[in-house]
Amino acid sequence: MSANPVAVPVKKLANGAEIPMIGLGTWPMDDTEAGAAVLHAIDAGYRLIDTAENYRNEEGVGQAIARSPLARSELFVTTKLNAEWHSFEGVRTAWRHSIERLGLDYIDLLLIHWPNPAQGTYVDAYKGLAKLLAKGKVRAIGTSNFTRSQLTELMDATGVVPDVNQIQHSPLWMRADDIAFHQEHGIFTQAWSPLGRGAVLDAEPVTTAAAAHGVTPAQVVLRWNLQHGASPIPKSTDPERQASNLDVFSFELDAGQMAAIDALDGTGPAPADPMAFGH
Ligand code: A2P
């Protein structure tokens, strides 16, 4: 184990589980890359590992978890199910397949990966998730890429608050209205592609803040996500980047630095459209 792994703060979710404030994203790693990256990440102090059926790396993630010296209870494993399983019974099947690929006997957080509104069956899928939660097969449930009105539909249909909604969030794609809605309802916001796929790391407001704090541009951007209420899950296969990406709890961006980075919003490529895109 690393001599000095970073201790990551945790947050209590709506349905009671505790989630680390930063996790490792694993897209687009294959099984082999994910196996190595997850072992390095655990060594650096990561306790939250984020995978998905669609990433096709759950087996690699699971093998790393099996090899890690940590007890299963010390790790928080998120996976996500595809549109194929958007029915009450289908979600149970998706859960079983993920459990088998991961080699685990429970999942910490199971998400509906994309709403796929044209298919129109995400409410049925969410009812299936609520059942898995009630039976203790998962410790938390939620969604990825859901809009505010879709989240309202889920809560109205079941009375169960999603623990998490993941959104594409970075200085290039700010989502203040969604984060405010999540906070109002007790939904934890996770940011996917929090580094803007790396595209934002050379931007002047980011490099200026990094120099001022003696940290890397990626640390600035991850800290910026946290200060906006979005918990990042950056992907990196590089052990040094992984370790520094976790080390963002000992400095704070001031209001001027935050505002300068906010001004990058909308300057990059368009984000994915959750009403049209998804699997
Ligand atoms: P790598 O895996 O080689 O480190 P996002 O999570 O926003 O999608 O961004 C992921 C991209 O950012 C990957 O290409 C990853 O590459 C890169 N990345 C992750 N951490 C850092 C870092 N600390 N510095 C520079 N690039 C990084």
Answer yes or no: are the C-beta atoms of 188 and 23 closer than 8 Å: no
Nearest partner of 84 among 105, 113, 57, judged by Cα: 113
pLDDT higher than 80, residue 1: no
With DSSP H G I counted as helix, E B as strand and the rest as coil, what are the percentages for the chain, rounded to 5?
45, 15, 40
Mean pLDDT over 198-216 rounds to 96
- Nearest 5°: the CA angle 279, 46, 240 is 100
Q: Which pLDDT does position 48 carry in this prediction?
A: 98
Helix and strand numbers, DSSP H then E, in the chain: 10, 10
Q: Which pLDDT does position 65 carry in this prediction?
A: 98
Q: Is 229 in the pocket of ligand 1 (CB under 6 A)?
A: no
Among protein residues, the one whose CA lies closest to atom 16 of ligand 1: 236
- How far apart CA 81 and CA 100 sit, in angstroms, is 14
Kind plus residue range of the DSSP H or E element containing 10? strand 10-12
pLDDT higher than 90, residue 198: no
pLDDT higher than 90, residue 20: yes
pLDDT in tens, 108-132: 999 999 999 999 999 999 999 999 9
| C-alpha of residue 16 to centroid of ligand 1, in Å | 31
Q: Which pLDDT does position 231 carry in this prediction?
A: 98
Band (pLDDT 50/70/90 cuts) for residue 279 is very high
Mean pLDDT over 65-71 rounds to 97
Answer yes or no: are the C-beta atoms of 14 and 186 closer than 8 Å: yes
Band (pLDDT 50/70/90 cuts) for residue 5 is confident
Is it true that the peptide bond before 115 is cis, omega within 30 degrees of 0? no
> Tokens standing for 243?
């370790």
Q: Which pLDDT does position 165 carry in this prediction?
A: 99
Mean pLDDT over 261-272 rounds to 95
Q: Which pLDDT does position 227 carry in this prediction?
A: 98
Q: Which pLDDT does position 199 carry in this prediction?
A: 86
Would residue 145 be called left, alpha or beta, if left means φ above 0 and alpha means ψ between -120 and 50 degrees? left
Secondary structure class of 183 (helix, strand, coil):
helix
Nearest partner of 219 among 229, 200, 237, judged by Cα: 200
pLDDT in tens, 36-57: 999 999 999 999 999 999 999 9
Q: Is 257 in the pocket of ligand 1 (CB under 6 A)?
A: no
- Nearest 5°: the CA angle 105, 77, 231 is 160
pLDDT in tens, 124-158: 999 999 999 999 999 999 999 999 999 999 999 99
**Based on the number of CB atoms within 10 Å of its own CB, is 56 exposed (0-12), middle (13-18) or buried (19 or more)?**
middle
Q: Choose the residue to mutate in 29, 238, 244, 248 for probing ligand 1, maximizing ligand atoms within 8 Å of C-beta.
A: 238
Residue that is written with structure tokens 């790393």 in the block: 64
Q: Is 241 in the pocket of ligand 1 (CB under 6 A)?
A: yes
Sheet strand arrangement including 48-50: 24-25, 48-50, 76-81, 107-112, 138-144, 164-168, 188-192, 231-232
Nearest partner of 2 among 219, 218, 252, 247, judged by Cα: 247
Q: Is 236 in the pocket of ligand 1 (CB under 6 A)?
A: yes
| C-alpha of residue 235 to centroid of ligand 1, in Å | 6
Q: Is 268 in the pocket of ligand 1 (CB under 6 A)?
A: no
- How far apart CA 195 and CA 215 sit, in angstroms, is 15
Mean pLDDT over 170-196 rounds to 98
pLDDT higher than 90, residue 174: yes
Mean pLDDT over 219-247 rounds to 98
Answer yes or no: are the C-beta atoms of 254 and 261 closer than 8 Å: no
High-pLDDT (> 90) share of the chain, %:
96
Among protein residues, the one whose CA lies closest to atom 23 of ligand 1: 241
What ligand 1 atom has the least distance to the C-alpha of 195? 7
What ligand 1 atom has the least distance to the C-alpha of 244? 23
Please list the active-site residues: 55
Band (pLDDT 50/70/90 cuts) for residue 183 is very high
Band (pLDDT 50/70/90 cuts) for residue 164 is very high
143 phi, psi to nearest 5 deg: -140, 165
